[in-house]
Amino acid sequence: MSTEDISPRYLDFDLWDNNEALKALYEGQLAAVAAVGPALTAIAAAVDDAVPRLRKGGRLVYAGAGTSGRIGVQDGAELSPTFNWPRDKVVFVIAGGEAALLRAIEGAEDSRETAAEKMNEIGAGANDVVIGVAASGRTPFTVSAIETARGCGALTIGIANNPDSELLRASEHPVLVDTGAEIIAGSTRLKAGTAQKIALNLFSTLVMVRLGKVYRGLMVHMLPTNEKLRRRSVQIVRSVTGCSEEIAAESVVKANGDVKTAALVACGMDTDAAQAALVKHDGNLRLAMTELAPPRSR
């Protein structure tokens, strides 16, 4: 496996001075970004297949072990505050359970049986999208989770850093981010982990965009749960509609914090009509805006 290779260039890395060492680590991160480029077509195809299932009520399921599992959790956990994605529509199947997020659980990643049991426990089904992440591409827990999910009819996406690996072969949508040897051999929290984070971020963000949770580059589906986000929601309504801050704030209150509804209310709709327009257009604010009455000619 290339992620386990020992690079002759870094045999004396521990003797390098700080500036040289940091420059090498920095260059490794740049290489991780570059490694995602060839995977964009595969990620786009995965988005195309994932969106229709999620529209039907499917869940995003992240499966992994160790560093890869934690990166998956980070991506999934941020979907609710950013896009108001329902918390019960994100599931984590992690080797060693929640305890493994804070400390290594030795041997947990080797159990294929535990992964299959967990996937069956969550009731993986045809509308679910299951993403398995493993740098090596051969982690038994992650491969088994994907195999079980696919057997249940779920859409499966595998993200790995080694070509022709078991996880990629098992997945309906294989996403290879070939980062090669690490500066510290086998330490996939470096380049491999960065590339995984980018790939997941690209996938989940574009999925949310296609689900209508972004309009004009704004987080119009966010949930304003604190004062900073409440201020942001008012500013989003102002930006979308061009209304005054006073009208935007009033509209956010009338819409109970729902930014999309507030934007339509600020444009003259009543709350019920705004909500009906959003339902009609599957929550897409751009399309719901077409329901606005044209301005009267003078």
Catalytic residues: 78, 109
What is d(CA 204, CA 206) in angstroms, rounded to the nearest whole number? Answer: 6
Contacts of residue 115, Cβ cutoff 8 Å, sequence gap at least 6 = 63, 93, 95, 140, 141, 142, 144, 145, 148
What is d(CA 262, CA 240) in angstroms, rounded to the nearest whole number? Answer: 10
Q: How many residues are recorded in the chain?
A: 298
Extended strands (E) in the chain: 60-64, 90-94, 129-134, 155-160, 173-176
- Quick one: three-class SS letters along 187-208? CCCCHHHHHHHHHHHHHHHHHH
What is d(CA 171, CA 298) in angstroms, rounded to the nearest whole number? Answer: 60
Continuous H helices in 92-182? 112-121, 140-151, 166-170
Contacts of residue 60, Cβ cutoff 8 Å, sequence gap at least 6 = 54, 76, 79, 85, 89, 90, 91, 128, 129, 131, 204, 207
